[in-house]
Amino acid sequence: MAGRRDWTRETLAAGVRDGDRRALARAITLVENGDRLAYDLVADLYPDTGNAYAVGVTGPPGVGKSSLISALVRHVREQETEVGVVSVDPSSPFSQGALLGDRIRLTDHFLDPGVFIRSMGTRGHLGGLAEATLQALLVLDAAGKELVFLETVGTGQSEVEIIGIADTVLLVLMPGSGDSVQALKAGVMEIPDVIAINKMDHPAAKTMLNEVRSILSLDRDSEWRPPIVLTDATRGENVAELWEKIDAHRSYLVESGRLEERRARHLASEVFAVASARAKRHLEHVVADDPELRRLLDEVQRRELDPLTAVREILERVFRIDADRDGSRTA
């Protein structure tokens, strides 16, 4: 078995392109750790990407996201579609731990060579989960996975950056996910492309369906009306219907030319998000290490220097940005 030292940029890229599981596992660990080799690898693989369809699956804890993905994977494997699953846990600083192990419940597919499943935490990743998720998606894409599920728990803003790269966003709810319904209603949560109300056996499932339907009916302008499907992930009920809706969304995007547009927008915002995150980190490090800059902050605190003058000096020193010009543009 190849140890960590045995992989080079070339062998790893070749292994990923062949869909070799050990190469994939290694590549995603490198991505997760923000390893230099991961950057080189993704740079090499990038020209071969763009073929995988990414489905983001989000929703509150325990609603059945993993169970539904598992059922959907079973369904698409009937057509022998090659599938990747990345389960991202924003709250976990480590990966492959017991907690994440419990989270993925996809053990049915662990022996299927056409399915690659991986959970990912933040671990030492400085670039954040958005960056790690994008890189993992690109690796799976280059490995020939035609369909990649990105699972992440959440109901608000935190997961937006993780599923922001997805082509289709599936929101999973269950009776009792009232907070999410409120968040949809208040416009705090972005309208997903497809909604599953899982655990449909629950007596309150129909009520929730009507509630969600009435919220969505307010949004008359959009051309795509998010379909809502009642599902039972454990019994596999309506899973085929759910897949049809996801596929219909994909066809809609392709036929209307919106897929290219959406991907271009996602990639641009991803690049900006990662660049901003790095710039912020750089700033924090420099300020922490530079007594001169810390002195500025002290002066602000003592009211000897006003905040915006301090900002100008910091930007000039750290980024060589002429803050006056920059400020006048946004004013």
Instruction: Name the site residues for ligand GTP (rule: CB under 6 A).
Output: 61-67, 103, 105, 153, 198-199, 201, 232-234
What are the CA-CA distances from residue 268 to residues 14, 275, 331 (Å)?
A: 28, 11, 24
Tell me the residue length of the chain. 331
**Which of 135/177 has CB closer to ligand GTP?**
177
Under 8 Å between Cβ of 172 and 196? yes
Q: Choose the contact partner of 62 out of ligand GTP, Mg ion, none; CB within 5 to 8 A by kind.
A: ligand GTP
Least Å from the CB of residue 106 to ligand GTP: 9
Strand partners, 197: 173, 230
**Which of 16/63 has CB closer to ligand GTP?**
63
- Site map for Mg ion, 204-243, x if CB under 5 A? ----------------------------------------
Least Å from the CB of residue 103 to ligand GTP: 4
**Which of 103/249 has CB closer to ligand GTP?**
103
**Which of 41/133 has CB closer to ligand GTP?**
133
Q: How buried is 243 (Cβ within 10 angstroms: 0-12 exposed, 13-18 middle, 19+ buried)? A: middle
Under 8 Å between Cβ of 176 and 204? yes
**Which of 106/310 has CB closer to ligand GTP?**
106
Residue list 94-113, contact with Mg ion (CB under 5 A): 103
Least Å from the CB of residue 177 to ligand GTP: 10
Burial 254-280 (b: 16+ CB within 10 A, else e): eeeeebeeeeeebeeebeebbeebeee
Burial 86-118 (b: 16+ CB within 10 A, else e): bbbbbebeebbeeebeebbbbeebeeeebbbbb
Paired tokens of 273: 């998000």
65 touches Mg ion (CB under 5 A) = yes
Secondary structure class of 74 (helix, strand, coil): helix
118 touches Mg ion (CB under 5 A) = no
Identified binder of Mg ion from the candidate list 58, 66, 119, 231, rule CB under 5 A:
66
DSSP type of residue 62: T
What are the CA-CA distances from residue 61 to residues 53, 162, 243 (Å)?
A: 24, 16, 22
Q: Choose the contact partner of 234 out of Mg ion, ligand GTP, none; CB within 5 to 8 A by kind.
A: ligand GTP
Residue list 142-161, contact with Mg ion (CB under 5 A): none
What are the CA-CA distances from residue 159 to residues 57, 97, 100, 163, 199 (Å)?
A: 10, 20, 16, 6, 23
* The one segment of 62-70, 204-212, 245-253, 265-273 that binds Mg ion by CB under 5 A: 62-70
**Which of 65/118 has CB closer to Mg ion?**
65
**Which of 97/144 has CB closer to ligand GTP?**
97
Q: Choose the contact partner of 156 out of Mg ion, ligand GTP, none; CB within 5 to 8 A by kind.
A: none
67 touches Mg ion (CB under 5 A) = no
**Which of 137/233 has CB closer to ligand GTP?**
233
Calpha distance 53→137 (Å, rounded): 10
CA 103 to chain centre: 16
Least Å from the CB of residue 84 to Mg ion: 16
- Tell me which residue has its CB nearest to Mg ion: 66
* The one segment of 36-44, 58-66, 162-170, 284-292 that binds Mg ion by CB under 5 A: 58-66
Residues that bind Mg ion (CB under 5 A): 65-66, 103
